[in-house]
Amino acid sequence: MADAGADERYHRFRGAWAAMSERASHGQGLGGDADRLLLALLVASEGTVLRRFYPFTALSRLCFACSPYPFERVQPTCVDFPADGRYRVFDGGPYPPTQDPSVGVETEEPTVAVEEVIRRLVGC
């Protein structure tokens, strides 16, 4: 049985994913190599359940919530993409008190990072 709420969120958040991809593809998102790394993550997430969440960035991390700002039910995982080109999937959200500095997975492959984020999602 399909989750009607998830399907509705997917359609409602499509524009946010598209806008973020557009900014990153033109180097107008986070700047420098961060946009290239972000764009690779966004491409890797196409067709996955991750698209049922609202994407946002906090510092150099791609984060996910169940609503646009003010974010509701921020998911307990995010992906950091520093200048060294490695994606780091963190446990916990981007803000205290759920912020957790421990890295769950570190990889150079955006598809591996996306798969790991999906594994950590708790849903809306």
pLDDT tens-digit map of 66-97 = 999 888 899 889 998 877 889 999 888 787 76
Residues 53-65 have a mean pLDDT of 91
Q: Per residue in 32-57, pLDDT tens? A: 788 999 999 999 999 999 999 999 99
Q: 30 or 100: which carries more pLDDT confidence?
A: 30
- Written as one letter, the residue type at 44 is A
CA dist., res. 120 & res. 112, Å (int): 13
Helices (H), the chain: 4-25, 32-44, 110-120
pLDDT number for residue 84: 86
pTM of the model: 0.87
Whether the predicted pLDDT of 1 surpasses 50: no
Residue 118 CB: number of other CB atoms within 10 A?
15
- Phi-psi label, residue 57: left if phi above 0, alpha if psi -120 to 50, beta otherwise: beta
Range of lowest pLDDT (55-59, 100-104, 105-109, 114-118) = 100-104
Whole-number pLDDT of residue 30: 81
- Residue 10 CB partners (closer than 8 Å, separation 6+): 51, 52
Per the DSSP assignment, residues forming a β-bridge with 79 are: 62, 89
Closest CA relative to residue 41, chosen from 76, 56, 28, 71: 56
Phi-psi region of 59 (alpha: psi -120 to 50; beta: other; left: phi over 0): left
